[in-house]
Amino acid sequence: MDFTVLTDHASEIGSGFLVTLWTWGGGVLAGVIAGLVIAVIQLSAGPWVRGVLRCYIEVIRATPFLVQLFLLYYGGPSLGLSLSPMTAGLVGLGIYGSVYFAEIFRTGFTSIPRGQQEAAAMLGMTAWQIIWRVQIPQMLVLILPALVNFTTILGKETPVLSIITVPELTFVLTGVGAETFAYVETLLALCVGYFLLAELCSRLGQWLERRASRYLTQGVQQRRALKPRESAA
Amino acid sequence: MLEARGMSKRFGEHTVLQDINLSIQRSEVVCLIGPSGSGKSTLLRSLAFLENYDDGEVFVEGELLGYDRASDGRRVRSRPSRLSDVRRNMGMVFQQFNLWPHLSVLENVMEALLRVRGMKKDAARRLALATLEKVGLAEKADAWPNRLSGGQQQRVAIARSLAMSPAIMLFDEPTSALDPELVGEVLQVMRQLAEEGMTMVVVTHEMGFAARVADRVLFLDQGHIVEQGPPMTLFKNPQSPRLAQFLGNYLERNSLFEAAPALNRVDD
Amino acid sequence: MFDLALLVQGLPLLLAGLWNTVWLSACGLALGFLIGIGVCSLKLSERGALRRLGGAYISVFRGIPLLIQLLFIYYLLPRLGLDVPAWVAAIAGLALCSGAYLAEILRGGLLTLPVGQVEAARLLGLSGRTTLTRIKLPQALRATLPALLNEVILLIKASSLISAVGLAELTRTAQNLAASSFLQLQFYLAAAVLYCVVNISLALLAGRLERRFAKGRA
Ligand SMILES: Nc1ncnc2c1ncn2[C@@H]1O[C@H](COP(=O)(O)OP(=O)(O)OP(=O)(O)O)[C@@H](O)[C@H]1O
Ligand SMILES: [Mg+2]
């Protein structure tokens, strides 16, 4: 095996890596925002709107991501929606992610005791203030593991974007492989690359979880109490 | 200042409150007693429109709570802003405290001052600290709610409500979720409030508190107000067999354990 | 944009594609199940080395995207002198990957079994293997049936990636029809509908089973 093909094409591979990070990050961001909107609407809207959203969620969950991408990228133009591969990929990841994120947010919302909302309402807080100040901060901590988990899953969907010619890591490396016949080397590099990304993501998640859930276990007073000792040392 | 006229509430087929008429004067302390499931919580929550009552009316300082009159005479649900406007002078304290665990004690009390009253941070902090001082918890201002005892949490919840300077406060079994030895500290705070002239409606099983602090006691059974009057008249001389039985059960339970006499729960 | 006649003409092909999707997924699942049992028993074994091996299998096959795994098998096997047909490579890819997920599902099911049952079986003199196949597995299966069905849905969706190695399953068939007729939207929509029919039925079944088990336990 000859891994010099990788160093020979380092700059292409680097840009492919950046495209992967960009589509992944952008897809997660779009999915989280859309999912949050869906979850909030689901909790507050009437039965009709809820029914429509339920259908959207079920349909997206029942169809393969690749088919959704094809619909968006190849089917879009007949509806007057011509997207570049990159945009189609970002939007596709966002749509696909939105329904899973929405389900995560919905469980999060319903796991916060109703009494806390009632207490806020009795103090005159508006529905928006209750969502933003009471529910979301607590919910984020509860659902963080699920969010991290699905973010990793979405990352593992990004190679599919290569099929609609988004120039991300898989596209670049399979291209290099076809050009140089170094299939094994490039595929091995891909395996290692994605494996490391997934590991990194879950490590980062664990760290975030520990930080975010501190208020559940450790008092402010304790942290304050540590300060004098630090300054004394 | 708080009035219910012919109010009823159903959950599906099940009528929980029927034809409730009730008028509460300024600075009056009213205790609601009654067996479990008699509708005490539902009544209290309807007075705050946390349950939307079906028939009748509730007035807070003369304003209809929860509904507006449409032009054709029928009534429609108030918009949220109108609802909070009518209940701006009401505070509520819950059995389960319902503090927000992600905010410190001080932040819990400051939150509504900042976001609802629109106070400046400094002023809100000063007022919040003063209110916490009042319930004896100023030194816990920076603690997380979950690190406090139940009694302390309930006092924070009272302070959170009190800081908004309500004219009337509703309490739904504020001591029922507490260990027995923590009940006194909460009742003490409530008694102090009553002495300062706060208008209060208290659902409680603490007969000692009712006897000493209430101006009037209401006995609720199966969704009806069966009997009402000054506590001593009601406790010493129950008119209805239901109330007699309820009080009988209560005294029997207490004499069985021969603990500190219930009527002396709140020490002078 | 839409052409009903062409759709009707293409329908038999689409259904044939769906059939391929279903049987490839089914084979992948069956094989993956065997792998899952194996990996699961590695993971639950008393020997540290075996446990680590099981753990490594799971994190490798769950950590690497399925598309990459498929490409790997597809390109690598010929290099090793194994000239296997594409469908074998496809099933192998699905099985290897789903094996990792199924192992975790089974392990979850086994871990929730009361310890007393296993001890009772041991006391009765049943061997470790008999205990596994006669006592533990049937119960773990029952408890994890909804999760397993869910895994089937995931697998059917994942099988669309087989189109990338050229097999005429549902997605590839839709792709071919779309390209030759220029009715992209129509044929991809048709494929989406067929996926929905299969997967939503499975999801409903899973939901029903879940409720039934929840009731049985209460
Ligand atoms: N959200 C609800 N839906 C249906 N029924 C309800 C609901 N809330 C209360 N009920 C019913 O209304 C009746 C009165 O309940 P309520 O909670 O007001 O009683 P309570 O007097 O406060 O009892 P407790 O002393 O146990 O708190 C009960 O029969 C209860 O089952
Ligand atoms: Mg109650």
With a 6 Å cutoff on the Cβ, whether B16 touches ligand 1 is yes
The pLDDT score that the predictor gives to residue B249 is 82
- DSSP 8-state code for residue A233: -
Whether residue B98 and residue A113 make contact (CB cut-off 8 A), yes or no, is yes
SS (H, E, C) chain B: CEEEEEEEEEECCEEEEEEEEEEECCCCEEEEECCCCCCHHHHHHHHCCCCCCCEEEEEECCEECCEEECCCCCEEECCHHHHHHHHHHEEEECCCCCCCCCCCHHHHHHHHHHHCCCCCHHHHHHHHHHHHHHCCCHHHCCCCHHHCCHHHHHHHHHHHHHCCCCCEEEEECCCCCCCHHHHHHHHHHHHHHHHCCCEEEEECCCHHHHHHHCCEEEEEECCEEEEEECHHHHHHCCCCHHHHHHHHHHHHHHHHHCCCCHHHCCCC
Partner residues linked to B171 by β-bridges: B93, B202
* A59 contacts in chain C (CB < 8 Å): 192, 196
Tell me: pLDDT of B200 over 60. Answer: yes
Q: Can you give the pLDDT at residue A43?
A: 86
pLDDT of residue B195 exceeding 60: yes
Condensed to tens digits (0 to 9), the pLDDT of residues C30-42 reads 999 999 989 988 8
pLDDT of residue B74: 83
Of A102, A157, A61, A54, residue with least CA distance to C203: A61
The DSSP bridge pattern shows strands B55-60 and B29-33 to be unpaired
| C105 sits in which H/E element | helix C86-111
Least-confidence region, from A214-218, B10-14, C7-11, C130-134: A214-218
Calculate the average pLDDT of chain B. 89
Q: Compute the distance between CA of residue B239 and CA of residue B244 in angstroms, rounded to an integer.
A: 7
- In this prediction, residue A221 has a pLDDT band, given cuts at 50, 70 and 90, of very low
A232, pLDDT greater than 70: no
Report the CATH number that the domain containing residue A226 is assigned in CATH: 1.10.3720.10
pLDDT at C137 (0 to 100): 74
Residue nearest to atom 25 of ligand 1 (CA): B36
| Average pLDDT for A41-47 | 87
* Structural domain spans, chain C: 4-217
A158 touches chain C (CB under 8 A): yes
Chain B nearest CA to A165, separation (Å):
45
pLDDT digits (tens, 9 = 90+) for B91-139: 999 999 999 998 999 999 999 999 999 999 999 999 999 999 999 999 9
At A230 the pLDDT is 36
Q: Please name the residue of chain C whose CA is at the shortest distance from the CA of residue A64.
A: C157
CB–CB contact C68 A190 (8 Å): yes
The CATH code of domain C4-217 reads 1.10.3720.10
Nearest chain A Cα distance for residue B57, angstroms: 19
Pocket test for ligand 1, best of B31, B32, B38 (most atoms within 8 A of CB): B38
CB-side neighbour CA atoms (13 Å) of A74: 25
Alpha carbon distances (Å) from A41 to A54, A111, C82: 11, 17, 54
Please state, rounded to an integer, the average pLDDT across all residues of chain C: 84
Q: Which ligand is nearest to the CA of B45?
A: 1
* B48 to A122: CB separation less than 8 angstroms, yes or no: yes
Residue position matching structure tokens 């009730």: B22
Q: Do chains A and B touch (3 or more CB pairs under 8 A)?
A: yes
Q: What is the pLDDT of residue C96?
A: 92
Shortest distance between the Cα of A121 and any Cα of chain C, in A, equals: 35
Looking at per-residue confidence, does B74 or A63 come out higher?
A63
Q: What's this model's pTM, rounded to 2 decimal places? A: 0.82
Taking an 8 Å cut-off on Cβ atoms, the answer to whether C160 and A66 are in contact is yes
Paired strand residues for B118: none
| Residue C167 and residue C20 in contact, taking contact as beta carbons nearer than 8 Å | yes
Task: Give pLDDT, residue B256.
Answer: 53
The most confident of the ranges B27-31, C143-147, C168-172, C183-187 is: B27-31
Nearest to A123 among B96, B146, B164 (CB): B164
Write out the residue range of the structural domain in which residue A99 sits: 4-232
Q: How many domains does chain A have?
A: 1
Structure token pair of residue C130: 């008999």
pLDDT at A229 over 50: no
Atom of ligand 1 nearest to the CA of B51: 1
Asked if pLDDT for residue A225 goes beyond 50, the answer is: no
Residue B159 structure tokens: 């302070």
- The runs of H, that is alpha helices, within chain A are 4-8, 10-44, 47-62, 65-70, 85-110, 114-122, 127-129, 136-157, 169-180, 183-212, 214-217, 220-232
Question: What's the rounded Cα separation, in Å, for the pair A205 and B16?
Answer: 48
